[in-house]
Amino acid sequence: MTLPDMLTIDTLLAAYRAGSLRPTTVVEAVLERIEAYASKDPAVWICLPARAELLARAAELESRDQKHLPLYGIPFAVKDNIDVAGLPTTAGCPDFAYTPQTSATVVARLEEAGAIMIGKTNLDQFATGLVGMRSPYGQPHCVFDSRYVSGGSSSGSAVAVAAGLVSFSLGTDTAGSGRVPASANNIVGLKPSRGVLSTQGVVPACLSLDCVSVFATTVDEALQVEAAAMALDPQVPYSRVMQPYALPKGAFRFGVLAEADRFFDGDSENAALYAQAIQRCQAMGGTAVELDYAPLRETAELLYNGPFVAERLAAIEPFYDAHHDAMDPAVAGIIGGARRYSASDVFRAVYRQHSLRQVAAQMWEQFDVMLLPTMPRLVSKEEVRADPVGANSLHGVYTNFVNLLDMSACAVPSGFRADGLPFGVTFIAPAFADHDLGVLAGRYHALAGVGSGLAKVAVSAPAEGVGKGKVLLAVVGAHLKGLPLHYQLEQERAVLWRTTRTAGDYRLFALPGAVPPKPGMFRQPGFDGQGLEVEVYELSAAGFGRFVAQVPQPMAIGRITLEDGQEVSGFLCAEAQARKGQDITDFGGWKAWLKADKA
């Protein structure tokens, strides 16, 4: 099978399931693509594992049951301020480099889901910048025109997806770094709500604001990656669980810039494309409402033009003091500028930030989402060389405020200028609206008809029922009705669909030391048992995502086959972990064993 121009998750999974493609074949093809694309842009990657290591990972996956791995064989890239075990983390600064022994939580969770980490991508040094030009490892460029920047700071991650080198990638987003590069390269950039993806193992830019972001071909696939990566992480001070938040279905109200606030730095084509985006949303059933951009603009200025820059210094202060001469001059100047602010200045800025949050919260009474240009216009490399700070600031006009005001955002392609450069818009909503916001943005992306990535591959609207439909989840242990963790299903208004049994080749073990007590279930091909009793619940897609985020190790959510052959999502446990406990398979289910154990 010849690989498609864009390595979409759905296409690869379908080919794997049909037996027409293997992960080792994909890895070989991806490495060939990376080598070929390097002749066009040699600055996308900072570090790639050895070919043999990648092929060994792919071969190991081929020995496993792909039914239980939602991202089986899917190649992805990681921004090089995110740890991958055994590979150097540079944050775009060679003198800072270190080699971690463990991967960042998000990387570990994606690999547990079956994804293949292909390599570490270039970035603006210490994730400080929105242009992709502040790196000693070279400057990636826009996939459509080498004279223009790729956008930053997640420059290489965006290009790797847009050029069809990987299926998805991880970036980070503090001030717009997960959205600006998406717009510059005609792909999707999902900025999750702060804290729902762990930042453990991520070199901080501003720890209180940082988000791990996702670049993908479609919004559906970005949301799929987010769901697999989500986890409450007690190691991270700002980690939190996704909370219920629903946007209206059907008709909706969307905030737009007033004519006086539509700043495009003289670019009339982008101004026209934004007006066209508003009309497109109206055709989707939306009602445009002018928003007051003044408090958002003031919030944005706090990030770089105020004491909040001190948090960037706090992240790397010992290194900065010893090695600032080795840093990119623009980055060193920004971070070093924090020294002019006092602790009192910082607290005053925090007070103002919270006041502005109150103002922003009232905005959501006027409309459900915002529709903004992702940036006024894409700058050229020549402009950045002439005015590094000014050109960079231009990219952040419509992005910097989002994390300071605790909002979720999703950037999607929207159109092309006559010169072939892309234009994108960003949908913004309150925190925890990630899923419903993504569904809306995905509908828009399909309607825009501009495709995705360099190949401009066609994008379909979200499947019927996504966002409105349901997910079936089988529970086998402490989430059963009447047991200690059932409340988590009640919180999501889960509805009992039926009580049934698994196929006969599942085993059940009581996990040692689990609090509350819980079992571990795994599939053992060839085992001929009676099946295990499970309760199958119906949840909303958004509720399912929130529920999955609470699942602790060694548990995982995968695909489970029921006695009638139907496949649903359900709890699974690594066999090695489960076998440390007591084999209770013969009891036929957790409740039966609890009853016998107490007798």
Residue 171, beta-bridge partner list: 213
Closest CA to 533 of 510, 506, 513, 572: 506
Q: Report helix, strand and coil shares of the chain as percent, to nearest 5.
A: 40, 20, 40
Provide φ and ψ at 538, rounded to 5°: -105, 125
39 is a catalytic site residue: no
Query: What beta strand segments (E) does 309-449 contain?
Result: 369-373, 407-416, 422-430
- The residue behind tokens 């001030």 is 175
**What is the chain's length?**
599
Is residue 532 exposed (0-12), middle (13-18) or buried (19+ Cβ within 10 Å)? Answer: buried
> Measuring CA to CA, how many Å separate 91 from each of 88, 201, 204?
9, 12, 10
Sort residue 91 into left (φ over 0), alpha (ψ -120 to 50) or beta: left
Cα of 270 vs its chain's centroid, Å: 27
440: its two tokens: 């809306």
The one catalytic residue in 150, 153, 155, 408 is 153
Whole-angstrom distance, CA of residue 211 vs CA of residue 234: 16
| Catalytic annotation present for 79 | yes
Distance CA(404)–CA(526), nearest Å, equals: 54
Q: Which of 155, 157, 167, 177 is catalytic?
A: 177
Active site residue 157: no
Catalytically annotated residue among 79, 120, 191, 518: 79
Taking the C-alpha atoms of residue 118 and residue 92, their distance in angstroms, rounded to an integer, is: 18
Alpha helix ranges (H) inside 339-426: 343-363, 381-386, 388-395, 401-404
Q: Rounded to an integer, what distance in angstroms lies between the CA atom of residue 206 and that of residue 312?
A: 5
Q: How far apart are CA 193 and CA 178, in angstroms?
A: 12
As a whole number of angstroms, the distance between CA 109 and CA 114 comes to 9
Strand 211-216 with 286-291, pairing? unpaired
Rounded CA-CA distance 41/139 in Å is 9
SS3 119: strand
Q: Which residues are tagged catalytic? A: 79, 153, 177
